[in-house]
Structure 1
Amino acid sequence: MTVELFIPCFIDQLYPETAFNTKKILEKAGCKVKYNPEQTCCGQPAFNAGFWDEAKEVGYKFLNDFTENNYIVAPSASCTGMVKNYYNDLFTNTAVHNKCRNIQGNIYELSDFLINVLKKDYFGAELEGRAVYHDSCSGLRECKIRDEPRALLSKVHGLDLVEMKDTESCCGFGGTFSVKFSSISSAMAQQKINNALEMEADYIISTDVSCLLNLQAYIDKNNIPIKTIHLADVLAHGWGNV
């Protein structure tokens, strides 16, 4: 199976290792991975800020950077949710209407693709410690992902996955929300981290690096003994030279 890899700008700029690990996981699952280096952004930052004309311009490029023939997989529920749900607002009854619909039907967040398309949940990963999983707003509400990441994490050797209180509540990032309402965002991050600490977790795991970035910033600022980690980085952990 040929899969086209979509690496959102957030990951490209700040978490490149997560991109490489996503590729490794897909290849280990038996996929041939294609990556178009001309790809950039899905347009979500502009869209959420109300700049729909600019978002549409970026979205046109996205639609041209990918094909209608293959599955498209991204290590980001947020960006996947943008394409799946909000491209309707940008491209309905346009010249690219049909291509947009086809791409919307082909794009998947990583855990959703591994579990529901490939039917694979074991990758030989190893990570010692206790972890909680954070349900990102986009993953849970836009991509309808809840059980998939947990199924994958349950097969990681050495990992004790426990449920924290209010796991479905927001981390406080929300794109520009964290900039415009920084004090509220910080309080939400604090609540999320305190819930993880109550479970004596070593790690907070999620499908969205935007959530993890916000939480890690609070962790670093306050020297809290816990670490954030993306799902893809967990699934690729402990392979050695594989």
Structure 2
Amino acid sequence: MPDIAGDHSAPRVGLFVTCLVDAMRPQIGFAAIHLLEEAGCVVEVPDAQTCCGQPAFNSGDTGRAAALARQTVVAFETFDYVVVPSGSCAGMIRQHYLEALASDPAWIVRARDLGARTYEITSFLADVRGYRPSGLTLQATATYHDSCAGLRELGILTQPRQLLAAVDGLDMRKLEGNDVCCGFGGTFCVKYPAISNAIVEEKAKAIENTGADLLLAGDLGCLMNMAGKLNRRGAKVRSFHTVEVLAGMTDGPAIGEEG
């Protein structure tokens, strides 16, 4: 790991952990910190962060989403970059804060500035830092699901694959319908459970058809949804966030195997 404690040229990164990572899979946050430090960044995790406001915004509660947007802006605007291990939360900060704060011109300026410095983690590592992991070996086959928000809002497609290609022994297999929704969709799976279940059933079959040992993705919500269905089907596929693989943190329980 580079010695960056006294390097004033190293970018200060605020890690937006996300609610799901904080509550359900903290290892993803630790993996993100490890990778960002490997990429030469000084990383801090502001105590004042809470939800990005996406559930409220998607449910039509723009007022509450705006309040959470303001809180996030205040907590992170002093950092050089904000990095998020989730395409959906990063997309909320980058794009939808401007909608939530549309009636407040002063806050729009601050939100736009923060959004321009906010990145999903694989995009930040590959596109901004030019990072490439080294010395990693994982003898396994894996397939990759592209989460809707990361793919469609942020253009996250080649970056995770570029980083994973540096892992010796990892054989990536094509997932049919890799860009098709897994059925999670945040509050969608709560509002429309039958539709959500039908979608993830098709996704699970496609994952099993690859014959891969591992399912990888960049959003914990999607991974929890797919891992749950795979486990209920009795599939022998283990699910991990991309950063867990890149940080060499796959020895413990996979997503859905905890407890």
TM-score by length of 1: 0.95
**Pairs within 5 Å for 1:83-98:** 83-92=93-102, 93-98=104-109
* Structure 2: distance between partners of 1:185 and 1:206: 18
Which residue in the other structure is 1:54 paired with? 64
Which residue in the other structure is 1:165 paired with? 176
Q: Letter of the aligned partner of 1:91 in structure 2?
A: L
Residue correspondences, number: 240
Q: 1:124 aligns with which of 122, 135, 141?
A: 135
Which residue in the other structure is 2:151 paired with? 140
Contact 1:123 1:235 in 2 (8 A): no
Q: 1:208 aligns with which of 215, 219, 222?
A: 219
1:228 aligns with 2:239: yes
Q: Any runs of at least 4 consecutive aligned residues in structure 1 with deviations exceeding 4 A, and if so which?
A: none
Give the deviation of 1:206 after TM superposition: 0.6
Which residue in the other structure is 2:16 paired with? 6
* Structure 1: distance between partners of 2:240 and 2:92: 22
Comparing 166-175 with 189-198, greater Cα deviation is found at 189-198
Which residue in the other structure is 1:192 paired with? 203
Which residue in the other structure is 1:71 paired with? 81
Give the deviation of 1:125 after TM superposition: 2.7
Contact 1:68 1:102 in 2 (8 A): no
Q: 2:52 aligns with which of 19, 25, 42?
A: 42
* Structure 2: distance between partners of 1:33 and 1:123: 20
Q: 1:105 aligns with which of 116, 126, 138?
A: 116
* Structure 1: distance between partners of 2:135 and 2:38: 10
* Structure 2: distance between partners of 1:197 and 1:220: 11
SS at match of 1:167: coil
CA separation of 1:17 and 1:239: change in aligned 2, threshold 3 A: closer
Contact 2:240 2:250 in 1 (8 A): no
* Structure 2: distance between partners of 1:193 and 1:140: 19
Which residue in the other structure is 1:177 paired with? 188
* Structure 2: distance between partners of 1:137 and 1:204: 16
CA separation of 1:4 and 1:238: change in aligned 2, threshold 3 A: closer
SS at match of 1:96: helix
Comparing 84-93 with 227-236, greater Cα deviation is found at 84-93
* Structure 1: distance between partners of 2:79 and 2:213: 41
Give the deviation of 1:123 after TM superposition: 3.9
SS at match of 1:213: helix
* Structure 2: distance between partners of 1:16 and 1:199: 28
Which residue in the other structure is 2:6 paired with? none
* Structure 1: distance between partners of 2:250 and 2:220: 22
Give the deviation of 1:219 after TM superposition: 1.8
1:17-68 Cα deviation digits (max 9, x unpaired): 1001100111111111111122111100110111111111111111111124
Give the deviation of 1:153 after TM superposition: 0.9
Comparing 165-174 with 220-229, greater Cα deviation is found at 220-229
Contact 2:183 2:196 in 1 (8 A): yes
CA separation of 1:7 and 1:123: change in aligned 2, threshold 3 A: farther
Contact 1:126 1:238 in 2 (8 A): no
Q: Letter of the aligned partner of 1:131 in structure 2?
A: A
* Structure 2: distance between partners of 1:173 and 1:97: 29
Q: What is the root-mean-square deviation of aligned Cα atoms in Å?
A: 1.5
Comparing 165-174 with 94-103, greater Cα deviation is found at 94-103
* Structure 2: distance between partners of 1:11 and 1:123: 25
Q: Letter of the aligned partner of 1:148 in structure 2?
A: Q
CA separation of 1:50 and 1:63: change in aligned 2, threshold 3 A: same
